[in-house]
Structure 1
Amino acid sequence: MYGNPPDLPKVMAETGQKTFQLTFIQAPRGGGGCTPTWDGTAPVSEDTAVARVIDGVRSAGGDVSVSIGGYGGRNLGQTCASAEDTANAYQQVIDKYALRAVDFNLEEPAYSDPGAVTKELRAAQILQHHNPGLYVSVTTVAAPGGTTPQGQNLLNTAKSLKFAPDNYSIMPFNGFQDVGAQIAVLEAFHGVLMNTFGWDSATAYAHEGASLMNGRSDFGEYYDQADFQALLDYAIGHGMSRYTFWSLNRDRQCTPPDNGQTSGTCSSVPQNPWEFTRLTAQFAQRTPALKAGVAVSQPVPARLPAQADQGAGR
């Protein structure tokens, strides 16, 4: 079991959170290839453990999305021969789990490979065409100007392809010291979306999302419940379409509450269990399903450190 995952139906009952995003689908480690795997190690075609988790969530009245990519892994767009092959590989995941939503989490190293980015986005466009009603989001990196040059290339590539995902989310942590800086970068990204796609303000907000990190970040920033509440108010007040965080596994207090380290299983801030998740549930109550969430690692085979991410990837 990776990351000490909680029991999702139990969390659902205690918080009202209904949607979860499982991460990450990647290319096989080592030899590469065009076969979808969980975390680069366990072929989706052989999976039974994640399928049981999904069945449990759906039996309790919820649903899941799946996140593709993630930091440090190899996207299938880097290893498949074409966009069509990449889409066929991701289609296997959609068919296996009867998915209604997917998230393309585009970070390093795929993020800096323009060819891979083009294949990923074209694959996403193909999936939209072949799966009517599929909710497609793109999660990527934040920077003080809204996004990085690589992120701007991603947006420009989507525009050139005439690819229109339902949402673009950025991750305003790791370098953003407080909630004011987080809101500022979301405002900057809002401007980037308007300028890139020619959208008016309301349309840009309706395609914008935030993927947060609860408690202590990788860079040692601390984001507490009040920060998340301020961002929740901002997201709802501006008509944003996603509000997510990494991760549900971390949505509980460490012992001691702060040991000066970033943990994958606790938040490093004083809290009761699932306080951050309850905020995503509030957002979900005001938006369509599968647009809000939290990250959480799931019980899977030892070789499969897959994660469940209620609504956004990391």
Structure 2
Amino acid sequence: MSTSGQGRSRRRAKSRRRAGPALAVAAVAVLAAGGVAIATAGGGHPSAGPSAGTSGTGTSAAGASSGAVPSTAGPGPTQPAAGAVPLGLNAPYEYLGWGAPQSPVDVMAATGATQLTLGFVTSDGGCNPVWDGTRPLDPGGSDATAIAAIRAHGGDVMVSFGGASGDKLGVTCASADALAAAYRKVVDTYRLGAVDFDLENDEVADGTVRQRVVDAIGRLHSAEPGLRMFATFGVGTEGPDANEQDLIRRGAAAKLALTGWVGMPFDFGGHQGGMAQVSTAAIDGLARTLAADYGWPLDQAYRHAGLSSMNGVTDEADETVSPADFTAMLGYARTHHLARFTFWAVNRDRPCGAGLSKGDSCGGIAQQPYAFTRTAVGYRD
């Protein structure tokens, strides 16, 4: 366990572990909604529209050279209507390989959500991107089918790279060029308008890997200038710890133009005060760090910061994020015009009941179904 001087544990080591290959093969649940069939790992206990100008309308020559496969994940992102929510602004996480996932189309119908963040794309052990270390970027696979269904019902997706566990592309790819090509393969395959880099554990613990990730994201931005990009990482009670501070410094030095730097304010390893109070204080610290490193006024720094909470009982015994806490965080996000306001995860956004495992498929608190998703959907900046 890696800790900062603020005493927090590394993010989501329990709550976001991907399902192992054996589980993925041995237990497959099929969720059907509007023709959607989603293969998910069952029975495992985890240890854990886009902006105008998006270049996601097909596989470019560069994308083809990186090995992108033809996309059948729907028509791809379209130009947003006037007043539409920018992709990634409020998209909650749903993990289709874990936690008895709900049909994304059902989630949209029940909550009014128009965007979801799907995780996680990791490595196959080399520099090839796959879902949860096992499922290939198959244009006829369950993930592509889910994305197509979301788009057919008027929504869109942002794909998240990394997460807490598994082999990370930032570690297994030997160079920034190779890493950028792996990122772009996913962007081209699913015609994405936004991506999230969930940087945890070994992707932030090593300075060489941090620099490789920063350089690769910069190359991806040069190749896909309309792509919205978010970096998501743990924060302590006072803001980013030493490794995350260094990541931001390297990004600023490289003039990395992310849409948002997003802090995960939970799993602190000890805190004082309510979770709304301590979470917003952590993002205050993130905004101050961005202001110092990028030379921005504080108001501008907040507009490049984001908050990604965890609903219900977190991985720490003294942490529970209630619907009221999350609503208070929504007010904070609105006040500061954050670049992103979201949470982990839709899978957990329901009361616990028969067949639902506390921690992965429910949040462990008394709540209405989708209470947190509805609150996130209410963030429109």
Q: Same fold (TM over 0.5)?
A: yes
In structure 2, how many angstroms separate the alpha carbons of the residues matched to 1:132 and 1:249?
32
Q: Verify: 1:250 aligned to 2:343, yes or no.
A: no
* Structure 2 unaligned regions, length at least 5: 1-39, 41-97
Specify the code of the residue in structure 1 equivalent to 2:362: C
Task: Tell me, yes or no, if the aligned pair for 2:138 and 2:144 is still in contact at 8 Å.
Answer: no
Query: Which residue of structure 1 aligns with residue 130 of structure 2?
Result: 37
1:151-170 residue pairs with structure 2 within 5 A? Answer: 151-170=244-263
Q: Verify: 1:71 aligned to 2:168, yes or no.
A: no
Query: Which residue of structure 2 aligns with residue 302 of structure 1?
Result: none
SS of 1:228's equivalent in the other structure is helix
Task: Tell me, yes or no, if the aligned pair for 1:211 and 1:246 is still in contact at 8 Å.
Answer: yes
* Structure 1 unaligned regions, length at least 5: 288-314
Q: 2:322 aligns with which of 224, 238, 245?
A: 224
SS of 1:272's equivalent in the other structure is coil
Task: Tell me, yes or no, if the aligned pair for 1:73 and 1:109 is still in contact at 8 Å.
Answer: no
Post-superposition Cα deviations, 1:206-245, rounded to whole Å, max 9, x if no partner, equal 1010010000001121111000000000001111111110
Query: Which residue of structure 2 aligns with residue 295 of structure 1?
Result: none
The alignment of Structure 1 onto Structure 2 pairs a total of residues equal to: 279
SS of 2:229's equivalent in the other structure is strand
Specify the code of the residue in structure 2 equivalent to 1:237: T
Query: Which residue of structure 2 aligns with residue 179 of structure 1?
Result: 276
Task: Tell me, yes or no, if the aligned pair for 1:87 and 1:127 is still in contact at 8 Å.
Answer: yes
In structure 2, how many angstroms separate the alpha carbons of the residues matched to 1:99 and 1:130?
13
Q: 1:22 aligns with which of 118, 125, 128?
A: 118
Distance 1:120 1:153, change over 3 A: same
Query: Which residue of structure 1 aligns with residue 28 of structure 2?
Result: none
Specify the code of the residue in structure 2 equivalent to 1:196: D
Asked which structure has the greater RCO (Cα within 8 Å, sep 6+), the reply is 1
In structure 1, how many angstroms separate the alpha carbons of the residues matched to 2:358 and 2:254?
39
Q: 1:7 aligns with which of 103, 110, 130?
A: 103
In structure 1, how many angstroms separate the alpha carbons of the residues matched to 2:302 and 2:217?
21
SS of 1:52's equivalent in the other structure is helix
In structure 2, how many angstroms separate the alpha carbons of the residues matched to 1:203 and 1:73?
35
Return the offset for 1:262: 4.7
1:121-136 residue pairs with structure 2 within 5 A? Answer: 121-136=214-229
SS of 1:91's equivalent in the other structure is helix
Q: 1:203 aligns with which of 294, 297, 300?
A: 300
Q: Verify: 1:275 aligned to 2:368, yes or no.
A: no
Q: 1:240 aligns with which of 338, 345, 351?
A: 338
In structure 1, how many angstroms separate the alpha carbons of the residues matched to 2:224 and 2:248?
22
In structure 1, how many angstroms separate the alpha carbons of the residues matched to 2:225 and 2:250?
22
Return the offset for 1:43: 2.3
Say which structure is richer in helix.
Answer: 1
Q: Verify: 1:214 aligned to 2:307, yes or no.
A: no
Query: Which residue of structure 2 aligns with residue 87 of structure 1?
Result: 180
In structure 2, how many angstroms separate the alpha carbons of the residues matched to 1:86 and 1:112?
17
In structure 2, how many angstroms separate the alpha carbons of the residues matched to 1:216 and 1:117?
30
In structure 1, how many angstroms separate the alpha carbons of the residues matched to 2:102 and 2:237?
34
TM-score, normalising length from structure 2? 0.71
SS of 1:42's equivalent in the other structure is coil
Larger Rg: 1 or 2? 2
TM-score, normalising length from structure 1? 0.85
Query: Which residue of structure 1 aligns with residue 239 of structure 2?
Result: 146
Post-superposition Cα deviations, 1:260-287, rounded to whole Å, max 9, x if no partner, equal x85100011111211110011100xx24
Query: Which residue of structure 2 aligns with residue 188 of structure 1?
Result: 285
Specify the code of the residue in structure 1 equivalent to 2:302: Y
Q: Verify: 1:109 aligned to 2:109, yes or no.
A: no
Return the offset for 1:140: 0.7
Distance 1:113 1:47, change over 3 A: farther
CA RMSD of aligned residues (A): 1.6
